[in-house]
Structure 1
Amino acid sequence: MTDVSTPTPRLITGPFVSVMATALVFFVYIGMVVVTVPSFVERELDGGEFGVGLTMASFAVAAIVARPFLGRLTERFGRRALMMAGALLASVATFSMAFSTELWHVMVLRGFTGLGEAALFVAAATLVADLSPANRRAEAASYFSVAVFGGIGVGPLIAEAFIGSNDDYSAAFLAAGVLAALAAVTVLGVPRRVDRTAKPAEGRVPLFQRAALAPGLVLACGMAAFSVFMAFAPEYSKSVGLPGAGGLLLVYSLVSVSLRVVAAKLPERLGAHRTVTIALTFLTAGLSLIALVPEPWALWAAAATIGVGMAFLYPSLMANVVNRVSEQERSTALSSLTMFFEVGTIVGGVALGAIGEIASKQAGFLGGALMALVGVAVLWQFVVETPFDGADGAEPTELAAPLPACDPV
C-alpha cells in the first residue's frame, strides 16, 4: 500500500494578504499619531514629559478596559465588523484632535483611539491565527508584525512631512484620520467565509485567559522599554543635533521588518525562551546606548539595535499563547495577551515618563532598559514552552488547526 501524505496547509493565502494590507494601512496611521501627539503636547500645549505620559496612559487604559470584552465581541459580530468599527472610531477621534486646545481634550481622544486600535488589532490578530497552520503561527505573526511595525516606521516620516517647519499639527492629524478611514475600507477585502471560528464555544469562555498571563507580563516589560523610545525620541533627537526622529524610526522599522521577513521561521526553531531573550537583550542594549552616549551616531545605532529586539518580541509569545488554547478560546486568548501591550505602555508612559520629567530623558531610557531585563527574568521563570516552540516542521494538531477553504496565492 502506498502512503499518501497530507499536503501541508498553505500560509500565504488571499484572505491572509487582505488582513496584512488592512494592518499596514492602519498602522501607518498609528505611526503618524505616535510621533505627532508627543510633540503636539510638548510644543503646543506645554504639557511636558509627564503630559506626554498621561496621553499615552489614557490610550492604554481605554484599551486595557476594552480588551477583555473584545474577544467575545469578535466571536459575536465577526472579525471584519470589529476591524471596521475600530478603524472608524480611531478616524473620528483623530480628526477631532486637529481642533484640540487643551491637554485633557487630547487625553480623552487618545482614549477613543485606544479603543479603536485595540478592536482592530485583536480582530486582525485572531484572523491571522485562524488562517495559520499550528506549526507556523510564529512565522505568521512575524509577517503580520511586518505590516504593523512597517506601518509604524513609515508613519512618522509622513507625519513630519505634514507638520513641517511651521508645526502644522492639524494637517498631520487630519491626514492620519484619512488613513484610519481608509483601513475601514480595505478590510472589506477579507472574505466573509473566514470571518468566524469554525465551531461555537461550549460553555462560557472567560474574559481573561490564564495562558496569556506569563507571556503577557514579558510582553509588557518589552513594550514598556519600547514605549520610552517612541515617546522620548522625537524631542531627545533634536537635543543632540538631529532634525527629528523620523529617520531614526525609519531605521528601526527597516531593521525590524527585514528580520521579520528573512528570519520569520527562526522563532519556531529556537523556541520562545531563546528568541524572546534575544529580543529583550537587544532592547536593553539599545536603550542603554541612548542613555549613556548623547551623540547622533549613538541614536542611529540604538535605533537599529532596538529594531532587532522588536523583531523577535511578539511572534514567539503570540504562538506560545495560541498553541495552548482551543480554537474557541483563540480570540479571548489573543485579546488577553495583547492587553499587555497597553500595560507596558502605561508603565513606560506614566512611570518612566515621570522619571524623565523629574530627572532626565536619559534616566527614562535607563528605566526602560531595566524593564527589559525584568522581562528576561519573568520569561525564564514563568513562561512554559509549548509543543511547537522550537519544533520546526511539527505537524499541526486538530485542536489548533486553521480554518479551511482558503484559496492559496
Structure 2
Amino acid sequence: MSIRKQKLPIQCLRVLGLLDGISLLVLLFIAMPLKYWAGMPLAVTIVGAIHGLIFTLYALSIAAAQLFIQWKLYWSVLAVAVAFIPFGNFVLDRYLKKREDSFLAKPIPLLWLVYSIIFFTFIDLFTQLPVMSTYAESLGASLTVAGFIVGAYSLANTGGNILAGNLTDRIGAFKVLAAGLIGTCLLLVSYSLVDSPAMLLVVRFVHGFIGGFIVPAAFTFVANQSKKNKEGSQNAVTGAFVGVAAIVGPAFSGIVAARTSAPTVFLIVAAAGAVLTVITFIFMRKLVFKKDAEQKSLPFVWNNQVGLSFAGAFLLMFSQGALAYLLPLRVGKFGYDSSFSGTLLSVFGLVVVCIFVLRTKNLFDRIAPQTGLMIGLLLLGVSQLLLGLIDDVRIYYGIMALYGIGFAFLFPSINVLLMRGTTKENRGKAYGYFYAFFSLGVVAGSSGLGLLQTTIETLFIVTSGLLLFGTLSMLLLKRTRDRGMHMSSPS
C-alpha cells in the first residue's frame, strides 16, 4: 500500500473534523443569534441540518480511522468529544497534523470490522431513544400507544434474535449479518413514508425483527475470539463501542430531530449502514462464512451462569426501555425538547466509554462477574429512583453519570457469565436467547410501563423497585449457594 493511500483515513478525518468545527461555530455564533435576536428561525433549521450531516460523515471518518489506523480507542473517543466543544476540532487537527506520519493505515483486523457492525447496530438503537415517543405523539398517538410503539421494536427483536442465534450456529455469521444489515437499512428508509401511528407501529415491528439478526451473530464471533481469563476486559472493549454509540446516537438524533424531523435522522443512519454493508460484503463474505461453516452446532444447555446472564440482560434493558420511554417525557414537563434528553442519555454513554477504554477495564478481569452484576443493578436502581424523585434537572447530569457506572459494571459481567456457561458450538443459540431477553426487557420497560395508568414519577420508582428487588434476590441466591457449598465441603 502506498504512503498516499495509507494517509487517506487520517486526512479524511482531519478534513471532516475541520468542516464539523466550522459548521458548529456557524450554528452557535451565526444561526442561533439570527434565530433569537433577529427572528429568523429558518437559519437554525438549515444550518442545523447541514451540521448534522457533516457530523455524521465525521463520525463515519472516526470509525474508519479506528478500523484502518487501529489507533488506541481513546483517540476515537477524543475525536468524538471535541465535536461538542467550540474550537475543539481545530485544536485536535493541529495535533493530528504533527503526528500524521505515525497514523498510517494498516490491514483491517476482522474483529474490528465486527466491532463496527456492533457500533452501527447500537447507533440504530440509540438514535431512536430520544425521539421515538415524541415522534409517535406528533403523529397523534396517545401516551399508552406511544409506549407500545417504542416497545414494538424490541418485541419483534426477540423473534429475530432467537432465529439469528440458531442460524448462526448452523450456517455461519456472514449470511445472518448480511440479511440484518440490508434489511435494517431498508427499514430505516421506510420511516419517511410513515403518516399515522398504526403505520409507525408496523414499521417499528418489522424493523425490530430484521434488526434482531445482527447482534447475536456479531457477539458470537467476538466471544469466540476472546482470550481465556481476559473475557471481562474484552467485553469492556466491546461495551466501549456500545458506549460510543450511546454518546453519539442520542445527542445526534436529539439535535437533528429538533432542527429537522425524526425520519431525517433515520435516513442518515441508513446511509451509514449502507456503506458498512458494502464493506462487510468485501471483507467478510469468504473469511467468516468459511470458518463458521466448519463448526458443528450443539444443543443449547441451561445452567446457573446462563440463567444469571439472562436475568441481568432483562433487567438492564428494562431500565433502558424505561429511560427511552420516560426520560423525554419527564424533561418535557420542564419545558425541554428532545435535544436535552438526548444530551442526558449521552452522559451515561460517555461515562461508560471512559471506564471501558481506560485501565479501569482490567477491573472486570479481576472482579467476579456475579458481583459485578449485583453492583451494576444496584446503581441502576438508585439512578432510576433519583430521576423519579428529583425535580431539579441540573442534577440529572450527575444521575446519568451514576447510571453509566452501573451500566459499566453490568454489561461485561452478564457477557462473561454467558461465555463461561456456553461453548463455541452452542454460543450462537445462547446469544440469540440472551438478546431476546434484552429485547423483552425493553418491551417491559416501555410498553409494559405504558400500561400502568399513573404518573411518570411513579413509573420511575416502579422501575427502581424492580432493579433493587433483582439485586436483593441475586444476593440472597449467592449467599444460599455459598452456604450450601460450605456445608458440603469436607471439614
**Could you say which TM-score interval applies, normalised by the shorter chain?**
0.7 to 0.9
TM-score of the aligned structures, taking structure 2 as reference length: 0.70
Contact 1:318–1:334 (Cα < 8 Å) also in 2: no
* Higher helix residue share: 2
Paired residue secondary structure (1:35): coil
Contact 2:308–2:417 (Cα < 8 Å) also in 1: no
| Among 256, 262, 265, the residue aligned to 2:352 | 256
Residue 110 to residue 305, structure 1, CA distance change in 2 (3 Å): same
Write the distance in 2 (CA, Å) between the matches of 1:337 and 1:374: 21
Q: Corresponding residue for 2:386? A: 289
Write the distance in 1 (CA, Å) between the matches of 2:302 and 2:478: 14
Q: Corresponding residue for 1:380? A: 475
Write the distance in 2 (CA, Å) between the matches of 1:69 and 1:113: 15
Contact 2:126–2:250 (Cα < 8 Å) also in 1: yes
Query: Within the alignment, does 1:301 sit opposite 2:398 as a pair?
Result: yes
Paired residue secondary structure (1:200): coil
Deviates more, 1:114-123 or 1:181-190: 181-190
Contact 2:160–2:210 (Cα < 8 Å) also in 1: no
Structure 1 position 183, deviation (Å): 3.2
Paired residue secondary structure (2:193): coil
Alignment of 1:4-403 (within 5 A): 14-42=109-137, 44-165=138-259, 168-188=261-281, 189-190=283-284, 192-195=286-289, 196-197=291-292, 200-201=295-296, 205-206=299-300, 209=302, 212-243=306-337, 244-262=340-358, 263-355=360-452, 358-381=453-476
Paired residue secondary structure (1:327): coil
Residue 33 to residue 71, structure 1, CA distance change in 2 (3 Å): same
Query: Which amino acid counterpart does residue 274 of structure 2 have in structure 1?
Result: A
Write the distance in 1 (CA, Å) between the matches of 2:228 and 2:286: 22
Paired residue secondary structure (2:268): helix
What is the percentage of aligned positions where both structures have the same residue? 19
Paired residue secondary structure (1:134): coil
Structure 1 position 223, deviation (Å): 1.6
Residue 308 to residue 163, structure 1, CA distance change in 2 (3 Å): same
Paired residue secondary structure (1:245): helix
Write the distance in 1 (CA, Å) between the matches of 2:456 and 2:275: 36
- Per-residue CA deviation, residues 280-327 of structure 1 (Å, 9 max, x unaligned), is 111112111111111112221111111111112121111111112221
Gaps of 5+ in 2: 1-72, 74-107, 480-491
Gaps of 5+ in 1: 1-11, 385-409
Work out the number of aligned pairs and report it. Answer: 367
Greater C-alpha radius of gyration: 2
Write the distance in 1 (CA, Å) between the matches of 2:280 and 2:473: 36
Write the distance in 1 (CA, Å) between the matches of 2:324 and 2:253: 14
TM-score of the aligned structures, taking structure 1 as reference length: 0.83
Residue 214 to residue 278, structure 1, CA distance change in 2 (3 Å): closer
Write the distance in 2 (CA, Å) between the matches of 1:301 and 1:307: 10
Contact 1:283–1:369 (Cα < 8 Å) also in 2: yes
Structure 1 position 216, deviation (Å): 0.6
